Amino acid sequence: MLMGFVAEYRLSQMWFSDARIHHWTRYDDHDRTRRGDFWFTYQGVQLSVEIKSLQSNSVRQAIQRYEGKVQVDASDSKPTKLPNGDIVKTACLVPGGFDILAVNLFEFGQKWRFGFIKNSDLPHSTSKKYTEEQRKYLLATSVNVTWPLQAPFHDEPFTIIDEIVAEKKAKGKKKTLGASTT
Q: What is the pLDDT of residue 133?
A: 95
Where does 39-157 have alpha helices with state H? 132-135
Q: Kindly state the DSSP code that residue 154 receives in the 8-state scheme.
A: B
Tell me the pLDDT tens digit for each residue of 7-32: 999 999 999 999 999 999 887 665 55
Burial 24-35 (b: 16+ CB within 10 A, else e): eeeeeeeeeeeb
Residue 77, strand partner residues = none
Between CA 56 and CA 107 the distance in angstroms is 6
Q: How confident is the model at residue 36 (pLDDT cuts 50, 70, 90)?
A: confident
What per-residue confidence (pLDDT) applies to 67?
97
How many angstroms separate the CA atoms of 159 and 77, rounded? 33
State residue 165's pLDDT score.
Answer: 97
Inform me whether the pLDDT recorded for 55 exceeds 50: yes
| Cβ neighbours, 10 Å, residue 74 | 16
33: pLDDT strictly greater than 80: no
Q: Where are the domains of the chain?
A: 2-180
Other C-beta atoms closer than 10 Å to the C-beta of 68 total: 22
- Confidence class of residue 182 from pLDDT cuts 50, 70 and 90? very low
pLDDT in tens, 113-166: 999 999 999 999 999 999 999 999 999 999 999 999 999 999 999 999 999 999
Range 2-180: architecture per CATH: 3-Layer(aba) Sandwich (3.40)
Tell me how far the alpha carbon of residue 119 is from its chain's centroid: 5
Tens of pLDDT along 66-113? Answer: 999 999 998 889 999 999 999 999 999 999 989 999 999 999 999 999
If phi > 0 it is left, if psi is from -120 to 50 it is alpha, else beta; for residue 156 that is beta
- Report pTM: 0.90
Q: Coil, strand or helix: which one is 13?
A: helix
